[in-house]
Structure 1
Amino acid sequence: MNNPNVDPHSTRQCLGCQGQVPDVEGPVHPYMRASPGCWQWYGELLSEWLTPAAPLELRMLHVDCFAAQHPAGAENDRRQNQSVAVHLTALCLFHEYGIAADRIPYYRKRTSQAVLPRLGLPDWPHLREPDFSGTITVSDLYHDRRTGETRLGVAWPRDCWQAWAPHHSTVRRWAEAVLEGTA
């Protein structure tokens, strides 16, 4: 859902989510593949989402969406593989197992402790990232917020989860292991 109203002369496509973001220099996450403009906009949005007035999905699932949409593509980067696994598992627990959004942080913290030993995995596998074109991105949320809307923010977790459909069966196994390991 890349925003067609963005001036292409001052923006660039984010390396991760593929949204149109400011073409700026600046800091980025240490192991997520996000352009500086996307990281900047996410930080601005984050300050608004961490208030009680923000929809619960934004307050609890924003980090899962951002992490899942900004995989580093580094097959041998353990941090990145773990990050994608943990955040996709959180989205799966929310959408497919009905775990309330305010309980997701509890399960997110326990994912690595529960999944690897239960499934006998030595480490997290690399999941090939999908094409995020057509999905809701930080760019869409940034522009949505300027109009006072939050509908895209509420839809972001489902949209992000659906983008990873080729890996749903793998992530469901992880979610089941988390639920078994935390019961």
Structure 2
Amino acid sequence: MGNLIVECPGCKLKLPSKNLEPCDRYHASGECWQFYGELAAYNMSKNDPAFIHQLAVDAYGAQHSGGVTRNITTAFALIGLYLSIECGYTGRQVQKAHMELAKRRHDWPRFEPPHQTYSLTVFDVLRVEPGKKRDEMLKSWAEDVWKSWEHYHDWVRTICHQWLNR
């Protein structure tokens, strides 16, 4: 009997099956979600005042939209990526923007994920040695995810301009 491979429904990463349950929050395999947990633990251990982990939260959230992922999760992920990548916000500043948006009651739209395959995933970030190089790869991953959601860039910019004056 050969090794079974599982494909993550969000990022399409193919990994050896560990028979893990799919993630119940994101459109992700349990195996991919486990890698995200490793990245989260690494990021949180850094005690980074700029909170680079927010970039990982938003990149993973956008990349694993669809399925069980809530509309607000995708909206906040895309808004966070925009604020980080195009406006130069730190993770802490993105968190504050998310808190401002959360004060408004809004029916977020259902987002249609990109059809193309992503160039980078959480696995690519973890393969890079810890430290500055891993942080740079995390930023590259986030930029790749943001670029792939180009079909919603105007919507995100409009929301940020109207609700956050950004």
TM-score, normalised with respect to structure 1: 0.75
Match of 1:112 among 89, 98, 102: 102
1:20-99 equivalences under 5 Å are 20-52=14-46, 58-73=52-67, 80-99=70-89
Q: Which has the higher contact order (CA 8 A, sep 6+)?
A: 1
Q: Is the 8 A contact 1:57 1:154 kept in 2?
A: no
Take 1:18 and 1:35, find their aligned partners in 2: how far apart are those partners? 9
How far residue 106 of structure 1 moved from its aligned partner, in angstroms, is 1.1
- Asked if residue 136 in structure 1 is aligned to residue 126 in structure 2, the reply is no
Rounded to whole Å, the distance in 1 between the matches of 2:49 and 2:120 is: 16
Given that residues 61 and 77 in structure 2 are in contact (C-alpha distance below 8 angstroms), is that contact kept between their aligned partners in structure 1?
yes
Q: Alignment RMSD, CA only?
A: 2.9
TM-score, normalisation: structure 2: 0.82
Unaligned runs of 5+ in 1: 1-7, 117-122
Secondary structure of the residue that 2:128 maps to in structure 1?
A: helix
Structure 2 partner of 1:119: none
User: 1:152 deviation in Å?
Assistant: 1.6
Partner Cα distance (2:160, 2:22) in 1 = 29
Give the corresponding residue for 2:8: 14
Aligned residues: 164
Q: Relative to structure 1, is the Cα distance of residues 141 and 54 closer, same or farther in structure 2, using a 3 angstrom cutoff?
A: farther
Query: 2: distance between equivalents of 1:22 and 1:177?
Result: 45
Gap runs ≥5 in structure 2: none
Q: Which amino acid aligns with 1:66?
A: Y
- Cα distance in 1, alignment partners of residues 48 and 8 from structure 2: 25
